Chain A
Amino acid sequence: MTQAPVWDYSSAPESAKVEIRPRYGLFIDGRWMDGRAGKHFPSVDPTSEQQLCQVTEATGAEIDKAFEAARRALRRWSRTPGRERGKFLFRIARRIQERARELAVLESRDSGKPIRESRDFDIPQVAQHFFHHAGWCDKLRYALPGVSDPRPVGVCAQIIPWNFPLLMAAWKLAPALACGNTCVLKPAETTPLTALRLAEILDECELPRGVVNIVTGGPETGRAMVEHPGFDKIAFTGSTEVGKAILRACAERPVRLTMELGGKSPNIVFADAPIDQAIEGIVEGIWFNQGQVCCAGSRLLVEESVLGEVVAKVRLRMERLRVGDPLDKNTDVGPINSAVQRDRVKRYLRIGVDEGATLHECGTSALPDRGYFCRPAFFTEVQPSATIAREEIFGPVLAVMSFRTPDEALLRANNTPYGLSAGVWTNKGSKILEIARSLKAGVVWCNGFNLFDAASPFGGFKESGFGREGGRHGLREYLSH
């Protein structure tokens, strides 16, 4: 294959300026408050490694206050007519759309994700999520078959990760509020800023106080939330390991749970696939958001007869990925979210090489001097038993393997404790549906990957968790039935 030259682009930085206060408090009962313990921690820009601002670490006393506020607010909010609750959610959706650019820039600064993604994916999806659920508020009696008068579950504890900070907040808050619940939400330690900005928007939209409370902090704050007796339901998105710890911590009491956990999702390319389209899907599957996606297509299974072609084209495409400043509109791949995560990815790269796989890194452009950058990469000559083929890396690292028959593809694809998502590439519609029905995964994308919509449920089989988010099926998690 002839190698076309890689073009240089002039930088095209996003020019919108976003105000970041030097310090943020906690949003509890409709007011901003400082932690009593006066503890703060920095939120760091992963591109510059500089502190963006100080954020308050919520401790036991503030967690108490947050759950008390949510409990107080529950009575009125749950009895607010659905149509009126819906109007609050419509209003929130509209304000998010109107402040989209600001939210996108803030998201990219705090998380490191390319502005192209935060602007074109994250924030539009956030708005859609509120808009979709706004319309459900007065139609809940149609949500669950046979349940004519579903009631809210009550006070919800919600803990979300750093990979899609505001989108995960929307996935948690929008259905909970639509169903008449009240919430205490904890954004991730490294990416609290857009959730705090959302608190301002909720305030601006005159959402009754206490309906949504936002507490920031790290693992200690999370633990204090999980062990708190003040909630009826806990919804968690994050690693399978932490999810299991939460299940154990909640074992003594009858709380409702939603778990959206890890994955090691297969992306299966058959010889009769539209190959060029599949290459884009592979790229989207593993290098979208630096691979920090629970449903990332991190295991590529290619039919043997097209393995050479697919690997060559993936490599060519990878060489053209632009790694750099996430605020540059040309950037495809930003920095990893934190130093800890960057080190974890590097460790897996070493393990992959040590276990005998061949590493291919995107090596054309120099990485910036600063920032937690990591080159997009893929491995070939990967044994199915290799660590990099089994464990979730949560980074821009793809493991490429081959298969000979559809049965072998399925066997390999399903040979994992996870079951979050899967991709199938073939131009044969009947084969698509046969493979899709045999895959043990909550979401199967055919001739596509990493597709999301507020009207479509998302969630895993097996150790990828339980419960669904989005669509009619997601409402079940926030209703008593």
Chain B
Amino acid sequence: MQRLPVVKTHKLFIGGAFPRTESGRSTALKGASNGVIAHLCRASRKDLRQAVEAARAALPAWSRAAPYLRGQILYRFAEMLEGRAAELASALRATSSRSAASTQREVRASIDRLVSMAGWSDKLAMVLGGQNPVAGPYYTFTTPEPVGVCVTIAESSSPLLAFVSLAAPALVAGNTVVAIACERHPLAALLLAESAPTSDLPAGVLNLLTGELAELMPHLASHRDVDAIVAAVPARHAPALRCGAAENLKRVRLVDPGANFEQEEPWSGASAFDGLVELKTIWHPMSA
């Protein structure tokens, strides 16, 4: 008899742990040939709330960590992913009919993007901040700060690269992240989350939910403890997200899900931080 494969149920990633959804719901993930290749937790509103709470709890230490340290941790993350490159590529292939070459290219680009972002950690303030030459006896300067708890949603046909392109700038800037895995192609993000705890990324800094975007969207959009949302989602979700901004002035940045994430600009550049940093201006007196 042929060996029966062991089908895995992927769990959520919240606060450094891998819980099942509190709702007890799971869905079967069909592969490219329509067979069941895995089971996924279908996250609920309560799971979202717990993920946001975990991200909030992790924020003070992560946002205060030295940029050098954040950079090293993100580079460590890239090192860990490099070792799982083949697994990531096959995860991308499992739910699509893409060629091995295409998925390998995406994995490499994703790891390179993470490395590039790791290097931004202690450059951000230099490039985005600056001194303001005011007409008075004050030393005045502007510096970027993390906006807080960010939700990233990357619905894309390059699901891993899109995921990294949105979540990595948020993380390196000192935000904590609740990421929603691509609904159709969630496996690579789940593998990535499994590497997070072994990359020295503190618990709660990155959290990952799987589920149905349509179900989670209203709760995400209106959540009052989410400070920013960066979403590569179909246009039909845009009004709900923009209305959500009216709840608590959360920063909402919408990205075309068809965007070519392989491009260096804007995805590796300073514009990658749009909506992910706040600018603080400090006036310090000058007198003898």
Contact = CB atoms under 8 A, between A and B. Distances in A.
Contact of B136 (A248, A453, A473): A453
A11 interface: no
Interface string A440-481: 011111111001010111110111111010011100000001
Interface residues of A, number: 49
Contacts of A429: 284
Contacts of B138: 448, 451
B239 interface: yes
A440 B134 CA distance: 22
B19 interface: no
18 contacts: A128-B135, A240-B249, A248-B246, A417-B248, A442-B279, A446-B283, A446-B284, A447-B285, A448-B138, A451-B134, A456-B132, A456-B140, A456-B142, A458-B281, A459-B279, A463-B249, A466-B249, A473-B142
Contacts of A432: 284
Given A145-B127, A147-B271, A455 B134 contact: yes
Contacts of B128: 145
B269 interface: yes
Interface string B233-256: 000001100110111110100100
Nearest to A472: B130
Contacts of B285: 446-448
Which of A145, A417, A456 lies at the interface centre, i.e. has the most chain B CB atoms within 10 A of its CB?
A456
A261 interface: yes
The 5 closest A-B pairs by CB, nearest first: A453-B134, A251-B242, A456-B132, A247-B246, A145-B270
Contact of A457 (B132, B239, B246, B284): B132
B280 interface: yes
Contacts of A254: 238, 254
A457 B142 contact: yes
Interface in A118-139: 128
B243 to A, nearest CB: 5
Nearest to A257: B245
A146 B283 contact: no
A13 B248 CA distance: 46
Interface of A: 128, 144-147, 240, 243-245, 247-248, 250-252, 254, 259, 261, 417, 429, 432-433, 436-437, 441-448, 451, 453, 455-459, 461-466, 468, 471-473, 481
Interface string B123-166: 00001101011111010101001000000000000000000000
Given A146-B270, A433-B284, A448-B285, A468 B279 contact: yes
A451 B254 CA distance: 34
Nearest to A461: B278
Given A145-B269, A248-B246, 17 more contacts: A247-B242, A248-B243, A250-B242, A251-B242, A252-B242, A254-B238, A261-B249, A437-B280, A444-B280, A444-B282, A446-B283, A448-B285, A453-B132, A455-B135, A457-B142, A468-B279, A481-B271
Which of B138, B247, B249 lies at the interface centre, i.e. has the most chain A CB atoms within 10 A of its CB?
B249
Contact of A465 (B132, B249, B281): B249
B265 interface: yes
Interface of B: 127-128, 130, 132-136, 138, 140, 142, 145, 227, 238-239, 242-243, 245-249, 251, 254, 265-266, 269-271, 278-285
A472 B270 CA distance: 15
A445 B283 contact: yes
Interface majority SS (helix, strand, loop, mixed), chain B: mixed
A468 B274 CA distance: 13
Contacts of B249: 240, 243-244, 247, 259, 261, 462-466
Contacts of B145: 437
Contacts of B282: 433, 436-437, 443-444, 446
Which of B242, B248, B254 lies at the interface centre, i.e. has the most chain A CB atoms within 10 A of its CB?
B242
A147 B267 CA distance: 13
Nearest to A125: B135
Contacts of B283: 443-446, 448, 451, 456
Contacts of A433: 282, 284
A293 to B, nearest CB: 16
B273 to A, nearest CB: 10
Nearest to B241: A251
Nearest to B224: A417
Contacts of A472: 130
B246 A251 contact: yes
A471 B271 contact: no
Contact of B133 (A448, A455, A481): A455
B254 to A, nearest CB: 7
B136 A457 contact: no
Contacts of B134: 451, 453, 455-456
Nearest to B127: A145
A436 B141 CA distance: 12
A132 to B, nearest CB: 10
Contacts of B284: 429, 432-433, 436, 446
